[in-house]
C-alpha cells in the first residue's frame, strides 16, 4: 500500500502557533480542516480592537478550498480538469478563470525551468502508478513511455485568455495540476483573509505556506522544514517574514516496483521517475503557486542542475540530499542563507 494521495502531505508545519495569549503573546484564531486529500491550517492574529467573525471566515476559507478542489482535482472524475482530460478532441475547451490562471502560471514556471515543471505529464504520472487509477502494467515498458511522451510538452497546450479557453494540440493531451494546486490554494486563502482586513496571518495547505505580518509573539512566523527520513522530525526552522514557502520531495509519495523505489516526480525529458539523491527541496517565493511549482521543477532537475538553476534565478532554496549511507546533507542557496540570518535584504523588512 502506498501512502500516496494526489495532494500528498508534505513536510512543513507552521510553528509558533500556540493558541493565544499569556505573556506578551497576542490572541490568535485558528481554522483547520481538510481539502485535496490533505489538511489545512490558517492562523490569524487580529489587529487590536478587531473582532473576527470566526464562523463567517471559516466558511469562506472552506468554500475557497472546496471550489479549487472541485475544479482542479483529477481524483474527482467530475472536476473541470477531469472533464478537460476526458475530452478527446482538439477544439478549444472553455475553462474557469481560476483554472486558466493556474495553467498559465504553471506553464510560465515550466518555461522558466526549461520544461522541468510540465503539467502535461499526467498520462506518465498515471502510467507509473501515481494517478487516480492503478495501471494494468507496472512499470510501463519503453515503447509505452515513448508513446505517452508524444502527447506531453508545454507546447501541447494552446491558451486563449479572452474567453478563456485551452486547446489540446493532440486529443490525448491531459493536464495534471497536482504540482501547483496546493500552492495556488494557499495564495487564494491568503487573499481571502487579507480581504477581510487582516494583516497578520499564516496559511498552510499540505505543507505549503504563506505568511504575512508577525506571529502572536510579534516576530516573523517560523516555519519548520521536515527531516526527509522515515523517522521524520524537524531539520530546521526558518523565519518567513512574508511571502511563500513550498517543499517538494521524494520521501513521502513513493512506491516500490520490482524492488525499486519510485518517486512520484516524473522527469519530462525521459518520461521516467527521477532517480537522483535530492530527497527534498524547499523554495521561498513571492507567491505560493510559484514556490510550489519551482520546488517541483528543482526536484525534477536534481541536486546539481536544480541548485544551478536556483542560483541563476536567485531563489531562496534549500536542498536536502541523501548520501550513500542514508545521511542527509543540506545545501542552501545564497538567498536561503540570508533568510536564515533574517537579513533585511532577504526579508524586505527594515
Ligand atoms: P506534492 O503534491 O506531493 O507536494 P509536488 O508539488 O512536487 O508534490 O507535486 C508532485 C505531483 O505533481 C505528482 O504527484 C504528479 O501528479 C505531478 N508531477 C510529477 N512530475 C511532474 C512534473 N515534472 N511536472 C509537473 N507535475 C508533475
Ligand atoms: Mg510542487
Question: pLDDT tens digits for 274-303?
Answer: 999 999 999 999 999 999 999 999 999 999
pLDDT of residue 1 exceeding 50, the answer is no
Q: Whose CA is nearest to atom 3 of ligand 1?
A: 8
Per residue in 120-158, pLDDT tens? 999 999 999 999 889 999 999 999 999 999 999 999 999
pLDDT of residue 347 exceeding 50, the answer is no
Distance 63 CA to ligand 2 centre (A): 22
Q: Give the confidence band of 8 by pLDDT, cuts at 50, 70, 90.
A: very low
Evaluate whether residue 126 is within a structural domain: yes
CATH number at residue 115: 1.10.3980.10
Per residue in 303-316, pLDDT tens? 999 999 999 999 99
- CA angle, corner 215, sides to 212 and 216, nearest 5? 140
Q: Is 50 left (phi over 0), alpha (psi -120 to 50) or beta?
A: beta
- In this prediction, residues 171-183 reach a mean pLDDT of 97
Evaluate whether residue 149 is within a structural domain: yes
Q: Give the confidence band of 342 by pLDDT, cuts at 50, 70, 90.
A: confident
Per residue in 38-96, pLDDT tens? 999 999 999 999 999 999 999 999 999 999 999 999 889 999 999 999 999 999 999 99
pLDDT at 35: 95
Q: How many domains does one find in the chain?
A: 1
pLDDT at 215: 96
Q: Does 225 sit in the ligand 1 pocket, CB within 6 Å?
A: no
Per residue in 181-216, pLDDT tens? 999 999 999 999 999 999 999 999 999 999 999 999
244 vs 18, residue with greater confidence:
244
Q: Does 255 sit in the ligand 1 pocket, CB within 6 Å?
A: no
Evaluate whether residue 37 is within a structural domain: no
Q: Does 282 sit in the ligand 1 pocket, CB within 6 Å?
A: no
Distance 29 CA to ligand 1 centre (A): 32
Distance CA 207, CA 219 (A): 21
Ligand nearest the Cα atom of residue 271: 1
pLDDT at 255: 83
| Max avg pLDDT among 14-23, 86-95, 224-233 | 86-95
Distance CA 41, CA 207 (A): 9
Distance CA 116, CA 310 (A): 13
pLDDT of residue 5 exceeding 80, the answer is no
pLDDT at 343: 62
- In this prediction, residues 154-164 reach a mean pLDDT of 97
Distance 323 CA to ligand 2 centre (A): 23
pLDDT at 6: 28
Q: Does 120 sit in the ligand 1 pocket, CB within 6 Å?
A: no
Evaluate whether residue 111 is within a structural domain: yes
Evaluate whether residue 145 is within a structural domain: yes
pLDDT of residue 14 exceeding 70, the answer is no
pLDDT at 23: 62
Q: Give the confidence band of 346 by pLDDT, cuts at 50, 70, 90.
A: very low
Evaluate whether residue 290 is within a structural domain: no
| Residue 148, domain extent | 77-168
Q: Ligand 1, residues 264, 275, 288: which to mutate, most atoms within 8 A of Cβ?
A: 264
Among 299, 293, 294, smallest CA distance to 266 is for 299
Distance 45 CA to ligand 1 centre (A): 32
Evaluate whether residue 41 is within a structural domain: no
Distance CA 340, CA 51 (A): 34
Q: What is the mean pLDDT of the chain?
A: 90
Q: Does 185 sit in the ligand 1 pocket, CB within 6 Å?
A: no
- In this prediction, residues 226-251 reach a mean pLDDT of 90
Q: Does 178 sit in the ligand 1 pocket, CB within 6 Å?
A: yes
pLDDT at 256: 87
Evaluate whether residue 98 is within a structural domain: yes
Q: Does 130 sit in the ligand 1 pocket, CB within 6 Å?
A: yes
Q: Whose CA is nearest to atom 19 of ligand 1?
A: 265
Distance 211 CA to ligand 1 centre (A): 23
Amino acid at each position: 500500500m502506498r501512502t500516496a494521495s494526489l495532494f500528498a502531505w508534505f513536510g512543513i508545519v507552521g510553528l509558533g502557533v500556540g493558541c493565544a495569549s499569556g505573556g506578551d503573546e497576542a490572541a490568535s484564531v485558528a481554522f483547520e480542516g481538510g481539502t485535496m486529500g490533505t489538511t489545512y491550517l490558517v492562523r490569524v492574529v487580529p489587529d487590536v480592537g478587531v473582532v473576527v467573525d470566526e464562523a463567517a471566515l471559516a466558511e469562506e476559507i472552506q468554500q475557497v478550498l472546496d471550489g479549487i478542489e472541485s475544479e482542479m482535482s483529477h481524483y474527482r472524475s467530475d472536476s473541470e480538469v477531469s472533464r478537460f482530460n476526458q475530452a478527446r478532441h482538439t477544439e478549444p475547451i472553455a475553462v474557469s478563470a481560476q483554472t486558466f490562471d493556474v495553467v498559465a502560471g504553471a506553464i510560465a514556471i515550466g518555461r522558466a525551468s526549461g520544461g522541468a515543471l510540465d503539467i502535461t505529464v499526467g498520462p506518465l504520472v498515471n502510467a507509473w502508478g501515481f494517478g487516480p487509477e492503478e495501471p494494468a502494467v507496472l512499470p510501463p515498458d519503453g515503447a509505452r513511455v515513448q508513446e505517452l511522451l508524444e502527447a506531453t510538452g508545454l507546447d501541447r497546450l494552446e491558451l486563449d485568455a479572452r474567453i478563456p479557453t485551452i486547446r489540446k494540440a493532440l486529443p490525448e493531451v491531459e493536464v495534471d495540476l497536482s504540482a501547483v494546486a496546493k500552492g495556488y490554494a494557499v495564495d487564494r486563502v491568503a487573499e481571502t483573509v487579507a480581504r477581510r482586513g487582516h494583516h497578520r496571518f499564516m496559511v498552510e495547505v499540505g505543507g505549503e505556506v504563506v505568511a504575512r505580518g508577525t506571529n502572536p509573539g510579534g516576530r516573523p512566523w517560523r516555519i519548520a522544514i521536515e527531516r526527509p527520513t522515515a523517522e521524520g522530525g524537524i531539520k530546521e526552522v526558518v523565519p518567513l517574514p512574508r511571502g511563500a514557502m513550498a517543499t517538494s520531495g521524494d520521501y513521502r509519495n513513493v512506491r516500490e516496483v520490482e524492488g525499486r523505489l519510485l518517486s512520484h516526480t516524473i522527469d519530462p525529458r525521459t518520461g521516467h521517475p527521477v532517480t537522483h539523491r535530492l530527497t527534498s527541496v524547499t523554495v521561498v517565493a513571492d507567491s505560493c503557486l510559484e514556490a510550489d511549482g519551482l520546488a517541483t521543477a528543482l526536484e525534477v532537475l536534481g541536486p546539481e542542475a536544480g541548485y544551478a538553476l536556483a542560483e541563476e534565478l536567485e531563489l531562496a532554496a534549500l536542498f536536502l540530499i541523501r548520501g550513500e549511507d542514508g545521511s542527509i546533507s543540506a545545501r542552501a542557496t545564497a538567498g536561503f542563507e540570508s533568510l536564515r540570518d533574517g537579513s533585511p535584504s532577504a526579508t524586505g523588512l527594515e
